[in-house]
Each structure stands twice: as C-alpha cells, then as structure tokens.
Structure 1
Amino acid sequence: MTSSTTSAVRTRFAPSPTGFLHLGGARTALFSWAFARHHQGIFVLRIEDTDLERSTPQAVQAILDSMAWLGMAPDEGPFYQMQRMDRYREVIAQMLAAGTAYHCYSTPQEVEAMREKARALGLKPRYDGTWRPEPGKTLPAVPPGRKPVVRFKNPIEGVTAWDDLIKGPISFDNAELDDLIIARPDGTPTYNFCVVVDDRDMKITHVLRGDDHVNNTPRQINILRALGATPPQYGHVPMILGPDGEKLSKRHGAVNVMEYDNDGYLPEAMINYLARLGWSHGNDELFSREQLIEWFDTRHLSKSAAQWDPKKLNWVNAHYIKQSTNEDLAARVAPRIQALGGNPQAVDLAAVMGLLKDRAETLKQLAEGAMLFCTPYTPASAELVAQHLDDAARVVLQDFARRAQALPEWTTPALAELIHAILADHGIKMGKLGIPMRLAVTGQKQTPAIDAVLTLLGRETVLARLAAL
C-alpha cells in the first residue's frame, strides 16, 4: 500500500471461464474485494471469455455462484470481454494509426525459425522484428494473400519497472521483451491486449493477482503507456501449495469452490481461512468479515507461497459452527437432511443442532448426526442386542422406564439425575446403562449424550421403545 492510495481505489477480479473457480482464484478475488472495501473503493468483476474453445457458460455460472456464496458481490459487472470486441478493434486501429502497433506478416513457422536462430547464437529466443517499422528501414514485400497479425511496438531501450505491492521493486529490460502480438490474423485481440484496454477503460487503480502474471506486467505497462494511460499499481500474490509442498492440485482440494459448499463449509469460515492464506493481522487466526475489511492492507501480504491445510480449514469451520445460533444452523442443515432422505420437521431441529454443534466440523456432519432424529426408528441388529441387551440390562432399563414415567418434567437435567440414581441403586457404571439404553431407544450403539438424546426423542417415544424390549 502506498501513500497515493485514495478513496478512488478501483480493483478488479478477472477470471477466465475455462474451468470452475478454484481456491487460488477465490483468494485473489478476496484480496481484491477486501482491498476495495477497506478503501471504500469499487470492486469490478470482469469475465475474460475470449478463449472460445475452452470458455463455457457452465464455468461462467460456477464463477458467479461461487462469488455469491462467498458474499463478494461486485460493485460493477460482470463485464464480458466478448461483448467488447468492437472496443478492442477500435483501440488497435488507433495504435496502428499512431505507429505504436504494426502489421506483421511472418508466419508462425518463420517466427519459430527466428527463435531457433537466436538460440543457436546463445540469445533469448524471440521474434526478430522483421516487420517492425523503423526510420530508414525498408520492409519486405507483403506476401500475396497472407493475413497479418498486429504486433505492439515495444520500446527497445531502457527498463520497465514497478514497485510491486507485495514483492517490492521489479524491473525488466525492454530489450528482453518481444513485440507481442495484440491481434491475430482474423482480427481477434489477444489476452494481454484485452486486459490493458479493460483496465484502462474501467479505471482500475490496483491489480492484485497471482504471481504467474509477473511476466505479463511489463508488457501491459508498456501498452498502457503507449495509450497515454497511467498503469495501475500491481501486486503479485504467491501461489498456494498443497500440504506436501507441491503445487495445489485436485488431490489437495483445488476443486470448484462450490464443492466446499456441498461438503458443508460455511462461507464465512472459508473467507476467514482464505484470508489467512498469505495475509495476516498479527497473530489473529479468527476474525469476522468486518474485521478483515478494517484490517486489510497489502503490507501484510506474504512474499512466500501459502500452504493449504485441510485440518486448519476444518478447525476454522468448527469454530464458526459453534458460534452460529442453533436456529441458523437448523435453517442451513434442513435441506441437507432432506437430501439424505430425512424429515427435518420430525424433531426440534434447533435443539438437535445445539446438541451436535460442539463436535461437528461441517454442516454435512451435522446433517448426518441429525438423521438419528429425522428418520424412522430402526431396531438394533440381533448381534448388538445379543451382546449388550442381556437379562440384567433389561432389568435396569425396566426400572428406568418405570421411574421415568413418573418424572414431573421430561428435561435433560431431570433425566441426568434419574440416570445417576439408577446407576447408584444398581451399583453399575454408565456403560451398563448407556449402551443398552442407546440400542433400545435409537438402535445405535453410539450417540451424543444419552440424557440429551432422550429429551429430544420425547417421553412417549422413549417409553414406547423401552416397553417393546
């Protein structure tokens, strides 16, 4: 962050819809969004869909769905590059007229031969400028019928440098940069050119993006300067590595962000965790969206790669589940219970959430746990009954049923007190009552705290199942 940062901050997130939005892209979007929010600026969403062979409507929708789920609504956009083709062609024509771009008739095979020649001489492989117009230079005759590309006339002297918001000073010798192609033979503009025109037209002031774009930056800066525009400030974020230190891949969790919604992660937990992947505020691990906006700056973005840690994500998600109200969790989990074939109306679902949430890491786990109360009762297997429901256990359960029938109120404290009294009177430990009780009333050997489970099932249900032993 620099002293020139003002309320006119405009950032952008510009994904290519050639696949789903993955974790790296979501983090880039988050940093750009948080920076704009911190400075009361504007966050722009731009869909860079010029790769017609690989871009799909499904990928566009997945990006929009992911942004909505994470709560990162743009202030402007989404803008689509394919809808701006006339504008790109207009700027290319202006550059050709101004002499900052030129037609090049070299074929791809000829350009490759130029590169091979440079390699043989120990030089950087590059286009040799055959069609670059210079004072006093005679250009070759135009081959008949051959359609040209348009190349940017890159400066050949000096350096292109910027003070990266994350990495610090970076510079490139202009002599090392090709006259890159900005339009193909069919007239369609190329990626680096479209990005420049968009950033200029949308008045982008700060670009936060992955550090795989560092090599694009000097080219984009030079085109912007050729257009008479002031380049934005750039910050290049290091990549995210998997737990094994390798580049994040599908086996690590580099999947569609919406898969994390399917798996039961809360968007506020994902925002918190993604923010800590490469950014910090002291030692704070847990913070709200509002705190992130208040604290966010680029000075605390890490220069080194972050490491994805699924266990840490689960820990963060468990924290947000614990902090959620029972009613909120019930509303989020009810559709998941229905998807599993359960009936969320069969029980006081908020109360069930209160019972389960302290041990759950995901909404998926909450839904699975709630199925105990949301599906028809299935008696325990004959094998479990034979192991744990012997005559002695039945005597204890019958005593419990008789005394439970007379309880003035069916509450967890009252049931806990009765259970302790039964244990004392029969001289047994909890396992001798707890396991037979669970099998008798739930059909399962393991459940949450049995007194709370009995409370939620209700007196009538519990006594009916005990009577059926």
Structure 2
Amino acid sequence: MTVTRFAPSPTGYIHVGNLRTALMNFLIARKAGGTFILRIDDTDPERSKEEYVDAIKEDLEWLGLHWDRIERQSQRLDRYAEAADRLRDMGQLYEAFETPTELDLKRKKQLNMGRPPVYDRAALALSEDEKARLRDERGPGVWRFKLDHQRIGWEDGILGPVSIDAASVSDPVLIRGDGQVLYTLASVVDDTEMGVTDVVRGADHVTNTATQIQIIAALGGKAPDFAHHSLLTGPQGDALSKRLGTLSLRDLRARGVEPMALLSLMARLGSSDPVELRTSIDELVEGFDITHFGAAPTKFDADDLFPLTAHVLQERPYEQVADTIAALGVPGDIAPRFWEVMRENITTLNDLGDWWALCRDGAEPIIDEADREFVAQAMAMLPEGPLDEDSWGNWTGAVKEATGRKGRGLFMPLRLALTGQQHGPDMRRLLPLLQRIRAKE
C-alpha cells in the first residue's frame, strides 16, 4: 500500500513552499488509494509551539487536505534512542566535540586547499581518555553517522537518476550535544517504522536523501521512492525564501484567496501541464502526475491566485455564501439578488463589503463640471418608488429624449454620479440595489 507523509515543524505557519510538498504527497496517496500521514516534527522543544501545531491542522483542513492519521515525533523519542544505540553498537555513530568556530576554520582550510569542505573525522582518532577530558571541558559532544564513502544512487521521481559521492558529504550530525534528535535520524526511523513508500520534498533535500538512504540501510530498512520538486522563486526569479513570511496560507486566506484556486495552481505549477481551475479534490487527484514535474526553479506569483479566485466565486451558488452576505447586513429579501449581481464583479469575497456599503449608503459622486447641469436634470427625472431591472432603461431612455445625449456621453456621467466608479456591475441590475441615490449639485 502507498503511504506518504507531510512532516512540518511547528515553528511557524505553513507557507506556499510547504504546501507544495504537502499537496504532492497528499495527491500521490489519494491517487493510489493509500495513506497520508501528518507527522509533526516537534523534536525541538524550544522552537516548537502548540499554537503552530493547531495552525498547521487548521490550514490543511481549510484546504481540504485531510490526513488519515497524525503522528508526533516528540512522542517517539524512545524509538530514536533505540535506533541510535543500534548504530553505536555497529560502530556507525560516533561522538565529536569540535566547536562551531573550529569547524568553520577546518572548512576554510579545506577550501583553500581546493578540497570539499567536509568534516575530517578527527573525532574517530580520539582515545577514551581524550573523549572524557573533552566532555569535562566542553560537555557532551554531537553524534555523527559514519558514512560509507561510496556512491549513493537512486531513481528520483522528478530528477531522474541521481548519484552522490558520499565522500563529498560530511558525516551528518544525528544527535546534538544537548541530546536533541535531529530530523535526519527521526525521519529515517519514522519512514521505516511507518512503512512510508513515497517521499516528495524540495530539491534542497537531495543531499539529505543520500545520507538517509545509507542510514536506512544500516538500520535494515527499505528506502522509500524519493522525488525532489523544484524550489519556488519570485515572479522575477528572485529568491522566494526571503518573502515566505508574507506568503503563509493564513495570510493568503485573509486576503481572500479561495482554497481551490490555491490548490489548482500549486498542483500544476512547475509541471508540463497547464494550470486549470478544478472544482474538487477528486479532480486534482485525477489530473496529477508527479512525472510531469521538472527540476528547473519554478516562478510563483501570488497575483496569479486572484483571477483564479474570481473564477471560483463566479460559479458559487448563493447558498454557499449566504452566511457571509448576511454578516454584512444585507437584508434577506435582496441578498440572493445582491450576490447574483456582485459575484461577477469581485475578485475575493472581501470585496463584497465595499459593494454593499455603496448599495446601502450611496457613493461620493464624481461629476465633471461640464456634466453638472445634465446630471442634475437626469437625477430629477429618476422615477420614485421601488426600482426594478427595467428602471435603468426606462430612465436613460427618457433622459436621452429630454437632453439629446446618447452612448457613453449619456451613460458614463450617470454611472459616475451614482457609484463614483467608472466600472462595475451592469447598471440595469445595480440600480434596483441602491438603497440611497444621491448626487451632489
């Protein structure tokens, strides 16, 4: 059975980069009828916050990406400790004591000599007495996995054949000096014990994947099928990482982005398939193929989400927005008509508030000096009593006959006087919704 996972750290809000990983893993599981695990990577007790755990779940639920089960790494520390003991017994996990400054000096020296800046394994030469002395002086050391210096290869679901020389990679630190288990070990243990079959993540994890494949083998596990998606950039190719804080899912939601608009874009972005607005998760699943994605950096522009959102809303029936419209104070007898008129003239539901304010209170009219007398004459001819969709045509027809004006010269001054805007809904449909009509002389 296909098993995938999304493993966010609860140290902040999910952003579009995280979503891409979550969505791909979700779609692979759903397409295969498998299991999608939400795995909270909370082994860092200082940075992990419960409020972010709640926010991660809330964001995924908002999008409709429902998980089959949830796991907490903080509740599996005994499993990681057992795996670490096994690696120590094999001689593949060793303690090292270099300070960050010492490691930096070693890297600079190696670079100056034209060598890869990898850890030199000096800790392997330490005697037990030397280790004891260093522990007394510096406290416990970090624990590094001893890589076999051979090529590590796999068939990547996106990148194709990948091969990395382990000798060009530093022995990864699996446990910090304070005892905190790092992602590399925790993820290997979880993937192995939870039967994860497919892992999709960013291209910045390729080197991690190589080391994890060796650790999985050392622990007697079977490596999942890996696929590494391209990294997102800004619309001009700039590094998106600097702006991810403003691209959190909750920020996009607050700006009115609709879930299916966001999912439709992210399910195709960076692939050879065109972006097409989908109406359901099932449609996304049916149209998803991981092999259609490429390795080149992928441009993401948040502005692309808003035309898609507008299209989503144009197709939305009144029943699905009734509560939103009621919260604005729109009377129930005109609320359905208000939605029918406005849904083709909004980008997000947030825009409805301004349109209702205009309908309810009127707008500051815009009247050119040359049109002032014409507008005053026209407003005096506006029929009294309830207005319907015939009122605009009847009124402007009478004004045309009385003033001789026609076309844009007739309609635009009246639109500006009534709404203060050059564009908007068809005036035939908007006029009956205006609760108070006024024009300044």
Given that 2:264 and 2:275 are in contact with CA atoms closer than 8 Å, whether structure 1 keeps it comes out as no
Structure 1 unaligned segments of length 5 or more: list them.
1-7, 338-342
Residue 142, structure 1, aligned to residue 131, structure 2: yes
For residue 81 of structure 1, report the CA deviation from its aligned partner: 1.9
Show the counterpart of 1:4: none
Show the counterpart of 2:293: 301
For residue 88 of structure 1, report the CA deviation from its aligned partner: 1.2
For residue 322 of structure 1, report the CA deviation from its aligned partner: 1.3
Structure 2 unaligned segments of length 5 or more: list them.
none
CA deviation map 1:277-334 (0-9, x unaligned): 11344x4623333222012121111221221134432221221121212332343455
The residue type paired with residue 370 of structure 1 is W
Show the counterpart of 2:429: 452
1:139 and 1:346 map into 2 onto residues whose CA distance is 81
For residue 183 of structure 1, report the CA deviation from its aligned partner: 1.5
The residue type paired with residue 263 of structure 1 is R
Show the counterpart of 2:343: 357
Given that 2:147 and 2:171 are in contact with CA atoms closer than 8 Å, whether structure 1 keeps it comes out as yes
RMSD: 3.2
After TM superposition, the score normalised by the length of structure 1 is: 0.82
Show the counterpart of 1:50: 43
Classify the secondary structure of the residue corresponding to 1:234: strand
For residue 68 of structure 1, report the CA deviation from its aligned partner: 1.5
Residue 287, structure 1, aligned to residue 287, structure 2: no
2:400 and 2:110 map into 1 onto residues whose CA distance is 91
1:468 and 1:178 map into 2 onto residues whose CA distance is 75
1:174 and 1:379 map into 2 onto residues whose CA distance is 69
2:414 and 2:109 map into 1 onto residues whose CA distance is 83
Given that 2:3 and 2:196 are in contact with CA atoms closer than 8 Å, whether structure 1 keeps it comes out as yes
Residue 151, structure 1, aligned to residue 144, structure 2: yes
The residue type paired with residue 142 of structure 1 is K
1:425 to 378, 394, 401: 401
CA deviation map 1:94-147 (0-9, x unaligned): 2222333233455555555554554454322233223438xxx97774333352
The residue type paired with residue 344 of structure 2 is D
Query: Percent of counterpart pairs with the same letter?
Result: 32
1:188 to 180, 202, 208: 180
**Are residues 370 and 252 of structure 1, via their aligned partners in 2, closer, same or farther at CA, if it must alter by over 3 Å?**
farther
Classify the secondary structure of the residue corresponding to 2:355: helix
For residue 466 of structure 1, report the CA deviation from its aligned partner: 7.4
CA deviation map 1:323-373 (0-9, x unaligned): 2123323434554x4xxxxx2337622321211222322222233223223
Classify the secondary structure of the residue corresponding to 1:88: helix
1:102 to 91, 94, 109: 94
CA deviation map 1:430-469 (0-9, x unaligned): 66765675577x5745553332122224xxx56xx57999
Matched ranges for 1:245-256 at <5 A: 245-249=237-241, 254-256=246-248
**Are residues 152 and 395 of structure 1, via their aligned partners in 2, closer, same or farther at CA, if it must alter by over 3 Å?**
closer
Given that 2:15 and 2:244 are in contact with CA atoms closer than 8 Å, whether structure 1 keeps it comes out as no
Residue 314, structure 1, aligned to residue 303, structure 2: no
For residue 168 of structure 1, report the CA deviation from its aligned partner: 0.6
CA deviation map 1:66-94 (0-9, x unaligned): 212111111111x2222222221122112
Classify the secondary structure of the residue corresponding to 2:148: coil
The residue type paired with residue 160 of structure 2 is G
Residue 88, structure 1, aligned to residue 74, structure 2: no
Given that 2:392 and 2:431 are in contact with CA atoms closer than 8 Å, whether structure 1 keeps it comes out as no
2:161 to 163, 169, 178: 169
The residue type paired with residue 226 of structure 2 is Y
Residue 371, structure 1, aligned to residue 357, structure 2: yes
1:153 and 1:69 map into 2 onto residues whose CA distance is 43
**Are residues 196 and 422 of structure 1, via their aligned partners in 2, closer, same or farther at CA, if it must alter by over 3 Å?**
same
